Structure 1
Amino acid sequence: MLYLLVPLISDFAGTIILLLLTTLSYRAYKLTGYKVFLAFFLGFSLLASSSFVNFLTLLLVMGRIVSKPFSVIAVASSNMLSLIVEIVAYSWIAMAYFEVHKRSKEAVLTVFPLFMMLGNLVELLLLSFITIQSIGVYFDSRKKSALIVTVSFSLLLFSQILRLMQLSLGRRHPYTPPLFILSKVLYFAALLCLLALVLEVVRTDEKEKI
């Protein structure tokens, strides 16, 4: 069960960071009225819920609270649910960027490996779309905030590529280092970049209102 320790810790840390992102994204939306921050709020809310469910599932499995046959089903179900939630969350953000592009001149586990691979490919396409849109926004606006968003989603994109590489290796455990760890490092780096962005937006708008 020790191989579950890394994903357990990463899911716990991810839940905390995503909850902070959710809260600050909502505050940023309330302060600025930008719909992109609303999409961030909704998307990160889903991702935080998914990350918490994964953490809880792994905690139950590691604590041997559930039987071994049921633990396999629980982990597989949790991973598939997480995959679906991630697709929905990234779709939400992708649609928000599509609206920005449309309206603004500034924008330009292994139990079911086939399902997991296809789902991750969909995520890869969505993240590619978001990254391309954010690059267009940055080159048009040259704003620091647009650059941070571009870097963040680029990191998420590279993290997703590493996840696909991990799945394609067909190893016994989907959490095998070093690809999994590197993928998580990029994932957390992206979340921290976005966290810094929304925190700066909140602080800036609060200072302007004083």
Structure 2
Amino acid sequence: MTLPDFTLEATAQACGATRIAGVDEVGRGPLAGPVVAAAVVLDPARLPEGLNDSKKLTAKRREAICAAIWDMAEVGVGQASVDEIDRINILRASHLAMERAVAALPAPPDHLLIDGNMIPAGLTIPAEAVIKGDGRSVSIAAASIVAKIWRDRVMWDLAQQFPGYGWESNAGYPSKSHKEALRNLGVTPHHRRSFKPVHNILYQAKSVSD
């Protein structure tokens, strides 16, 4: 298995960058909850062991590595709310969360490695988009882990307030049980009304009431 490494960061350093942040987001696909992004500036002399795409790690391993990242690196987290997702669309909201994560770092970076194929328009720092970056760059992998853990905890908290949707396990993604709960329990304030399964239920409910 090929693991992410420091090659992209080293290339940026060779071009004069000294503070390189990896940026990634989590939560584009769920029907509920915010989209969360993280920005991480790693210390090349103190890289947490086991950095990898968050999706390729067990929950226990993610938690352990996440704790090491917070201890050994500089971290910023940003999110965009359900209202923002519905108002400006999920892509722009994801970019807004990334911009907020970068702004939340303790000090500004001078180069960004952004997971994906687009650079958020609101970023003024030199940046490069890295397709499948969480599997290529250790900084982006670290950001993917932090964002994943952060969002999972947000959804666990929301699950305590709105039981029955399974958010503590499905994190708001459209699992079969989540969609069934939507039909049986209805739409909560934390559901994304612009997403088709939620929109359809609201439309059907309105049609019945009319």
TM-score (normalizing by structure 1): 0.27
In terms of fraction of residues, the more strand-rich structure is: 2
> TM (normalized to structure 2)?
0.27
Query: Which gives a bigger RCO, structure 1 or 2 (Cα 8 Å, sep 6+)?
Result: 2
More helix per residue: 1
